[in-house]
Structure 1
Amino acid sequence: MTSLRLRKPARAGLAALLALSGAAFAAPAAQAAAPHVFAPHHAQAARGFSGDSNWGGYVAQGSGLKSISGSWTMPTVQCNTTNDLFAPWIGIDGYGSQTVEQTGVQADCSSGRAVYSAWYEMYPASPVYWSNPVSAGDTFNASVVSTTKGSYTITLTDVTKGWTKTTKQTLRSAQNVSAEAVIESPTQSYPSFNQLNFANLTVNGQVFDNYDPQAIDSGQYTETQLQNGAFSIIPG
């Protein structure tokens, strides 16, 4: 992935939003047509997760949150405008801290149709895109693991297509104070989809539910009740 931030006007409004957010995706080089900059930003603490947020899903807080893993299936999206952009992802940090260590998949509508791609990001560094093919309907397994202080192993597997990417990264300022399984639209403009299912979510090797994560709504989407490490994102 290049250093182009994923379509999100400046990681939150491209330039202005960057100041408010905490992560940024770049559009794959193959998407030459002015791709959106996807920049998953950190959750806006001022909103305290009440009402609409820039993240939608569940976020747990605490000290020593050193790993998260889980799976999801990428839905087929309907592009309503060329500004539509969204990504499901899992990660550590971003709420109560200024870094995010994360990996996920995005659907970018800047070309007039949904283009799917996979990425990881060690915010505030720019996101990195993997060139492996991604399609709607693919199931993904992902994990972000803090191996030692400031060191992370990030893995994303497309179970449907049979590929796996793993990277080892260092971010000394990371604090491991939150863990999340969420969707996000850096452009604050979601495409339409019927349902996205997260499953098999664990934190520090325990079921996600044990960490009493908070529910967050984003855009026109809400989340079902978290049960045994699984929940769905649905139109709200």
Structure 2
Amino acid sequence: MASLRLRKPARAAIAGLLALSGAAFAAPAAQAATPHFFAPLHNHGGHPYSGNSNWGGYIAQGSGFKSITGSWTMPDVQCNTSNDLFAPWIGIDGYGSQTVEQTGVQADCSSGSPVYSGWYEMYPAAPVYFNEPVSAGDTFNASVVAGTRSSYTLTLTDVTQGWTKTTKQTLRSQDVSAEAVMESPTQSYPSFSQLNFANLKVNGQVFDNYSPQSIDSGPYTETALQNGAFSIIPG
């Protein structure tokens, strides 16, 4: 029996159907992760908070804040829900202003397990995440330094993993606060036993000299600030 020969239009139609079928069953392209914005403190006033803030830690107010430096150790977190998100950071602005110049680390539970990463953000622009490895227990040094013409230099060093990221950015800002805090943009914290900040200095002076106020967030509170050091613990 003679083999079946398809006319060109028929062969083209079948090829088109096969292409469509393959496309229907092909794996979807990966989508970029939605950034979490580490934003100015909400609902702030001149008094301490009690579990209703999106920031927790210490904040100094005034004017002329040109630098903040400090260190912390990233705790091992346990995810309670996939909405849990937790980020310690240091920065300038955000309390009494609508910009924040900041760098830190986050633990994101959206996958069901904590995923750690470093980042910086010049809010209201989206955060920029680093590809370098981050693990629970890593010690970090960080700094945010204001320069001339609305410029900022932000540096994050993972002392344990041995990497440093430095970026220079520009942003019109007011330099009216300096902070060493943790934040949950989702207002849903994972569990951890203790977060330790140390070596905190503002404009080259120990953080204590600026009489920063303490702010609780979620289920956590902070110990007394002593010589540029404090801990955030379950309250």
**TM class by smaller structure:** 0.7 to 0.9
2:11 aligns with none
What corresponds to 1:3 in structure 2? none
SS at match of 2:81: coil
Q: Which residue of 1 aligns with 2:104?
A: 104
CA contact (8 A) 2:35 2:127 kept: no
Contact 1:58/1:182, CA 8 A, preserved across alignment: yes
Match of 1:70 in 2: 70
Q: Where does the alignment leave 5 or more consecutive residues of structure 1 unmatched?
A: 1-31
Higher mean Cα deviation, 119-128 or 35-44?
35-44
Look up the equivalent residue of 2:132 and give its one-letter code: N
State the partner residue of 2:227. 228
How far apart, in 2, do the equivalents of 1:221 and 1:50 lie? 11
Residue 176 of structure 2 aligns with an amino acid whose one-letter code is V
Contact 1:119 1:129 in 2 (8 A): yes
Q: Which residue of 1 aligns with 2:203?
A: 204
Which amino acid letter does the alignment assign opposite residue 226 of structure 2? Q
How far, CA to CA, are the matches of 2:34 and 2:181 in structure 1?
19
Matches within 5 A, 1:125-144: 125-144=125-144
* Equivalent in the alignment of 1:162: 162
Residues 139-165 of structure 1 show CA distances to partners (whole Å, capped at 9, x for unaligned) of 000000001141100000000011000
Q: Does the 8 Å CA contact 2:35/2:126 hold for their aligned counterparts?
A: no
Task: Give the corresponding residue for 1:176.
Answer: 175
Q: Which amino acid aligns with 1:181?
A: A
Give me the whole-angstrom Cα distance separating, in 1, the residues matched to 2:62 and 2:211.
10
Q: Structure 2: state its 5+ residue gaps.
A: 1-29
Aligned ranges for residues 27-38 of structure 1 at < 5 Å?
37-38=35-36
Aligned partner of 2:91 in structure 1 is 91
Residues 45, 95 of structure 1: 8 Å contact kept: no
Normalising by structure 2, we get a TM-score of 0.84
Q: What is the rounded CA distance, in whole Å, between the counterparts of 2:34 and 2:191 in structure 1?
A: 17
Counterpart of 1:44 in structure 2 is: 42
Contact 1:72 1:199 in 2 (8 A): yes
Distance between the aligned counterparts of 1:154 and 1:187, measured in 2? 24
Instruction: Tell me the number of residue pairs that the alignment of Structure 1 and Structure 2 aligns.
Output: 204
Residue aligned with 2:185, SS: coil
Distance 2:234 2:135 in 1: 21
Contact 2:78 2:191 in 1 (8 A): yes
The alpha carbon displacement at 1:50 in A equals: 2.8
Q: AA paired with 2:64?
A: G
- How far apart are the structure 2 equivalents of 1:58 and 1:141? 17
Which one has a bigger Cα radius of gyration?
Answer: 2
The Cα of 1:38 is off from its aligned counterpart by 2.1
**Secondary structure at 1:167 match in 2:** strand
How far the C-alpha of 1:46 sits from its partner, in A, is 3.9
Q: For residue 147 of structure 2, give the secondary structure of its aligned residue in structure 1.
A: strand
Whether the aligned pair in 2 keeps the contact of 1:36 and 1:85 (CA below 8 Å) is: no
Letter in 2 for 1:221: Y
SS in 1 for 2:175: coil
Give the drift of 1:116. 0.2
CA RMSD of aligned residues (A): 1.4
